[in-house]
């Protein structure tokens, strides 16, 4: 009788721990998924509908460069723990833009490793950045055009994801306190 009661308590404690972990991870079972057959199919997306992706892009320019003001936590991105300092205050120019770190700071880089939450909303639909190169700019980094014009300053830092063919780039601010 005592063993059964202790096993029941242990089960309840495990269930409470799981609930806390899911809450910390912002898990939402009602969050839509990207439909099967599309890039990133089956992965969670934060877009309003499961079919919000860009499914038919024939006849359009495949080069995409988007910015969004939705902050991202650096710890959310697979591979961020293996960041390498580039030793440069600039990221390579891609699609007519680059990151410029503040004076005395440098840009870091890493390859985004497989992780279940590497799908991010963009103005063009959800994008899975697994395998892409990410450039991290510290607080105060600016996104600049190759003509030298400032496009945006990121007071809390920034991540610029570039796909392997350099035909697509997505820029996201880093959440404060990271």
Mean pLDDT of the 147-164 span: 90
Number of H helices, E strands in the chain: 1, 11
Q: How far apart are the first and last CA of the chain?
A: 49
Q: Which pTM was predicted?
A: 0.61
For 87, the token pair is 């030793």
Cβ atoms of 89 and 141 within 8 Å: the answer is no
- Can you read off the two tokens belonging to residue 125? 């639909």
Q: Tokens 């990121």 belong to which residue? A: 154
* 113: helix, strand or coil: coil
For residue 64, what pLDDT is reported? 64
DSSP-assigned beta bridge partners for residue 66: 170
Q: In which band, very low, low, confident or very high, does the pLDDT at 56 lie, cut at 50, 70 and 90? A: very low
Query: CA-CA distance, 95 to 167, in Å (whole number)?
Result: 7
CB proximity list for 2: less than 8 A, separation 6 or greater? none
Residue range 112-134: mean pLDDT, rounded: 80
Q: What average pLDDT does the chain have?
A: 76
- Report residue 24: phi and psi, to 5°: -65, -35
Between 42 and 159, name the one with better pLDDT.
159
Give CA–CA dist 58/66, Å, rounded: 19
Cα distance between residue 114 and residue 131, in whole Å: 7
The domain ranges of the chain are: 65-173
In the chain, DSSP assigns E strands to 64-67, 84-85, 97-100, 108-111, 119-120, 127-128, 133-137, 141-145, 150-154, 158-162, 168-173
Higher pLDDT, 41 or 66: 66
- Strand 64-67 vs strand 168-173: parallel, antiparallel, or unpaired? parallel
């Amino acid at each position: 009788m005592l063993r059964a009661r202790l096993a029941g308590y242990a089960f309840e404690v495990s269930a409470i721990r799981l609930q806390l972990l899911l809450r910390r991870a912002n898990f939402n079972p009602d969050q839509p998924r990207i439909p099967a057959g599309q890039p990133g199919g089956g992965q969670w997306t934060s877009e309003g509908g499961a079919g919000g992706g860009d499914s038919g892009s024939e006849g359009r320019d495949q080069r995409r460069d988007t910015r969004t003001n939705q902050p991202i936590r650096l710890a959310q991105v697979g591979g961020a723990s293996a960041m390498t300092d580039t030793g440069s205050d600039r990221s390579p120019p891609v699609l007519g833009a680059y990151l410029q770190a503040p004076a005395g700071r440098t840009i870091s880089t890493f390859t985004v490793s497989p992780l279940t939450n590497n799908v991010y909303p963009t103005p063009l639909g959800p994008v899975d950045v697994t395998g892409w190169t990410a450039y991290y700019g510290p607080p105060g980094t600016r996104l600049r055009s190759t003509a030298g014009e400032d496009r945006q300053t990121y007071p809390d830092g920034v991540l610029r994801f570039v796909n392997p063919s350099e035909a697509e780039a997505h820029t996201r601010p880093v959440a404060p306190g990271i």
